[in-house]
Amino acid sequence: MMPEYDKPNIPSRLLWEFDYDSFDFEKSYKIVIERILERGNLDNWREMIRFYSKSQILETIDWSSQIEERDKRFSRLFINSDFVNVT
């Protein structure tokens, strides 16, 4: 049996087509990050930054074919700013 891990406090509405209770937030990080970048609010962004590493977030921004280039540029700038400081 795998050990329990911390789950991010992400609304299930962002992952509507998945079984939220059994969703693997670590393995499927690109899906979660992409959804938050596309549809999340500031609190969701802060939780994403708390739970996932900056490198995972930046990797997902580069990987995503769903996110438009303009939004990718904004996301990179925002992630690298102090605005979302989660201390």
In this structure, is residue 24 part of a structural domain?
A: yes
Domain total in the chain = 1
In this structure, is residue 7 part of a structural domain?
A: no
In this structure, is residue 51 part of a structural domain?
A: yes
Q: Give phi and psi for 59, each to the nearest 5.
A: -60, -40
Read off the pTM. 0.86
12: Cβ contacts below 8 Å, ≥ 6 apart:
20
Give the tens place of pLDDT for each residue, 12-64. Answer: 999 999 999 999 999 999 999 999 999 999 999 999 999 999 999 999 999 99
* Domain coverage including residue 27: 12-79
In this structure, is residue 16 part of a structural domain?
A: yes
In this structure, is residue 4 part of a structural domain?
A: no
In this structure, is residue 22 part of a structural domain?
A: yes
Distance CA(6)–CA(45), nearest Å, equals 17
